[in-house]
Amino acid sequence: MYPVEVAQVAATLGINARSMGELMAQIEDGFPRSVVRTLSGNAVPRRDTDARRRVEALVASPATLKRGPRLSRAASERAERLARIAALARRALGDTNEAKSWLTERHPLFGQPPIELAATDLGARQVERVLLNIEYSLPL
């Protein structure tokens, strides 16, 4: 199950994808490296440059980002996963600024910022579960 609309994830990345198939094809080809900046801008409060750098590094190292015009498939998958979490946080919390703060501040359930936990598949599943519980007013 994909927890948010593909268009919301695509917008968070700054790409155009209207279906899961289109999104998967772009991941296979490798996203343009510009998605990393767009993602960090959509997931991190504007003035928090440290958090922006950390989120960008979760996708790919600075050296990797300088090398080529496109991300690898693995880096593209990480970018999609973080964008999915950011889009879900906006939907669950109902406010972009609140979602950005929630994603980047240390969370007592996780012991770290949710966006950093979401860098792995297992971590992203934990964050998704909490966000869906928030959205539907279920216990955490």
**2-45 residue pLDDT tens:** 889 999 999 999 999 999 999 999 999 999 999 999 999 999 99
| Segment 117-136, tens digit of pLDDT | 999 999 999 999 999 999 99
Answer whether 42's CB lies under 8 Å from 12's CB. yes
Cβ-proximal residues to 76 (8 Å cutoff; 6+ apart), any chain: 26, 27, 30, 31, 35
- Pairwise CA distance, residues 109 & 127, whole Å: 10
What pLDDT, on a 0 to 100 scale, did the predictor assign at position 7? 96
- Which residue, among 56, 54, 36, has the nearest Cα to 105 in the 3D structure? 54
Mean pLDDT throughout 40-64?
95
Distance of CA 102 to the CA centre of its chain: 13
109 or 3: which carries more pLDDT confidence? 109
What pLDDT, on a 0 to 100 scale, did the predictor assign at position 2? 87
- Identify the residue whose tokens are 């939907």: 91
Residue type (1 letter), 94? G
